[in-house]
Structure 1
Amino acid sequence: MRALPRALPRLLAATVLSVALVGCGEDASEQPSGSGSDSPSASDPATTDASEDASATAEYPRYVAIGDSYTSAPLVPETDPQDGCLRSSGNYPSLVAAALEGTQLEDVSCAGADTTSLIGVQRTFDGLSRPPQLQAVTEDTSLVTVSIGGNDFGLFSTFVGGCAQVASTDPEGSPCTDVASEDGPEVLAKIEERISSVVQGVRGRAPEARILVVGYPQIVPQGDRACPALPIADGDLAFARTMNRGLAEALEEGARKGGAEYVDAYALSEGHHVCSDDPWIAGKETVEGQALAFHPFAAHQEAVAQEILRLLER
């Protein structure tokens, strides 16, 4: 619960990060790109030739996916437990790439990532490090999806996990709102600025790429009651809902300012919040083999992939 207030001194560093993200487009192109397990082996001429032929006719020959756990999709089948980023082969980047003929995917999304993970080394839960995600974006990249920002300033963990944790202290009151609501608008504004800078950083590295910013889904229900899967105090529901919607709007406005297209996952997931009869997001309990607690199910990833493909057809 102290994640958001404690993060406020770091707000002064947000402008520095914004400048760095934009600057990456100018001088980072000399760095090597990410490993990309989907890339063909240089030692196999037949595979390389076939891949080059397919890419030559593809509309989006090279696709890079940037994001956090809502992109990597932990426990959505199939997730490699040895992968510190908990990246699923059933996440929306994989589904999009599979549907686009000749498209080679480099998915660098990683659980726990925030916008600083785009320009700095990220430590995964298993203690290993991953290179900056923006490093994967190169001049020949033709499609980039970006979904990040929810972990910045501890925002997501505050309005979902944090609010749920303190609910038992005052279930009919507003213990979460009382602590964090005053700082929420300022944090959302900073995330918006960071997303705009992320888009500009991507554009600087891949001037011809089509860039789509993917928003966050609806997690918190409407009304004045939560549910066992999302045990938030009655008085905190309005705050949690405002932050959920505000985060989505911050990404949308950041995309607009940066000149990218926006995929409205919040609108797409209406009626599929945690407390619904058909949730696209798991509740407080991890569902083994399906979704990590407070993370997307396969249905969410499939819906986002379909929406991205629909937009790409335009």
Structure 2
Amino acid sequence: MRTYVRAGLAGAVACGVLVTVITVGRGDDDSAPPQGPYVALGDSYTSGPGIPTQATTPVGCDRSDRNYPSLVARQLALDTADFRDMSCSGAKIADLSSTQSTDNGVNPAQLSALTARTGLVTIGVGGNDIGFAATVQECVNKGVVYRLTGSGRFTGNDAPCHGEYVSDGTDKVARRIDAAGERLTGALAEVKRRAPRAEVYVVGYPAILPSEGKRCDDDMTLAPGDVRFLDAKERQLNSTLRKRAEAAGAVYVDTYGPSVGRDACAAREIRWIEPLMPAADAAPVHPNERGERGMADAVLRALKAAG
């Protein structure tokens, strides 16, 4: 996900990255790595904006050499010739099959890296298709205005943003999620066509906000009701990604479950997602290095289970 909920919000809101040094290990009894090259596809939650060291091809993709695909490739002992990271900040499902212009450079169609030899594919995409970053930004804006014009504090039922997206029985975000699911099905079919022997893993999004709606007054300036709404929409997106992956014969990788309690509103020592003002090298409201390592762990567990 990208469109980093921008600063000031124009300086304060965005989508972040993850930080702490933990080693991702594979024991002696772990299954053998997949045969053939590994291709990673995805958006900024895959690429790792803000996490050192950033690749320069192109610069605008904000691709870190410590993102979860890079960590997975190292643990599988793949050499550079057998690993292609095509992930790019801001990517939508359409950018898998067409070139993507960034703020600084052009990323080739991500699927162009697939060949008949490809043995492993991970895909982490969908958040930009539903405009999740823009929705978070809108809810933060509403929260700021609400606090400035109200009591200065939120109550447990406050949800100034919810009505912007759900009204008269229509849930705009849910509709976008359904449409993204349809597009993902098409993309997975194309992956299968280009890389028929590849093991395909669809990687879900980690917990960005707490489900109970608390703890986000200061770090995210979100009302409790809007926190619950945004978390519910993220879980709905993950559920759709899972259903579409399984229907296409791919494996879904749950990163939400392992990250519960480690969201952007959690203590800086444990969180996987940075808040609006990151304390770690990461983009706002994205995984920090700790989060990318947690996501890599989840992928490795899925590989072992499937093997």
Query: TM-score surpassing 0.5?
Result: yes
2:54 is aligned to: 79
1:178 is aligned to: 163
Aligned residues: 256
- The structure with higher relative contact order (CA 8 Å, sep 6+) is 2
Which blocks of at least 5 consecutive residues in structure 1 are unaligned? 4-56
Matched letter for residue 53 of structure 2: E
Higher helix share: 1
The match for 2:145 among 155, 162, 169 is 169
The verdict on how the C-alpha distance between 1:224 and 1:72 changes in structure 2, with shifts beyond 3 A counting, is: closer
Deviation at 1:244, TM superposition (A): 1.6
The verdict on how the C-alpha distance between 1:59 and 1:257 changes in structure 2, with shifts beyond 3 A counting, is: closer
The verdict on how the C-alpha distance between 1:61 and 1:285 changes in structure 2, with shifts beyond 3 A counting, is: same
Is residue 276 from structure 1 mapped to residue 254 from structure 2 by the alignment? no
1:265 is aligned to: 255
Please give the TM-score of this superposition, normalised by the length of structure 2.
0.78
Give 4+ residue runs of structure 1 displaced > 6 Å after superposition. Answer: none
User: What do the CA deviations read for 1:63-112 (whole angstroms, capped 9, x no partner)?
Assistant: 00000000000111222477211100000111111111345110000011
1:53 is aligned to: none
The match for 2:113 among 126, 136, 147 is 136
Is residue 203 from structure 1 mapped to residue 192 from structure 2 by the alignment? yes
User: What do the CA deviations read for 1:129-148 (whole angstroms, capped 9, x no partner)?
Assistant: 22111111111110000000
CA distance in 1, matches of 2:220, 2:244: 28
Q: Does the aligned pair in 2 maintain the 1:217–1:248 contact within 8 Å? A: no
CA distance in 1, matches of 2:289, 2:207: 15
CA distance in 2, matches of 1:281, 1:184: 22
Which blocks of at least 5 consecutive residues in structure 2 are unaligned? 4-31, 148-153
Q: Does the aligned pair in 2 maintain the 1:169–1:175 contact within 8 Å? A: no
Please give the TM-score of this superposition, normalised by the length of structure 1.
0.77
Q: Does the aligned pair in 1 maintain the 2:211–2:232 contact within 8 Å? A: no
CA distance in 1, matches of 2:225, 2:296: 35
Deviation at 1:58, TM superposition (A): 6.4
The alignment partner of 1:64 has SS state of strand
Q: Does the aligned pair in 1 maintain the 2:210–2:260 contact within 8 Å? A: no
User: What do the CA deviations read for 1:220-263 (whole angstroms, capped 9, x no partner)?
Assistant: 11324323222112331221121121121121112112210010
* Deviation larger for 79-88 or 190-199: 79-88
| RMSD of equivalent CA atoms | 2.0
CA distance in 1, matches of 2:255, 2:184: 16
The match for 1:123 among 78, 81, 101 is 101
The alignment partner of 2:74 has SS state of helix
2:92 is aligned to: 114
The match for 2:179 among 162, 185, 190 is 190
Deviation at 1:161, TM superposition (A): 2.4
User: What do the CA deviations read for 1:18-64 (whole angstroms, capped 9, x no partner)?
Assistant: xxxxxxxxxxxxxxxxxxxxxxxxxxxxxxxxxxxxxxx96332000
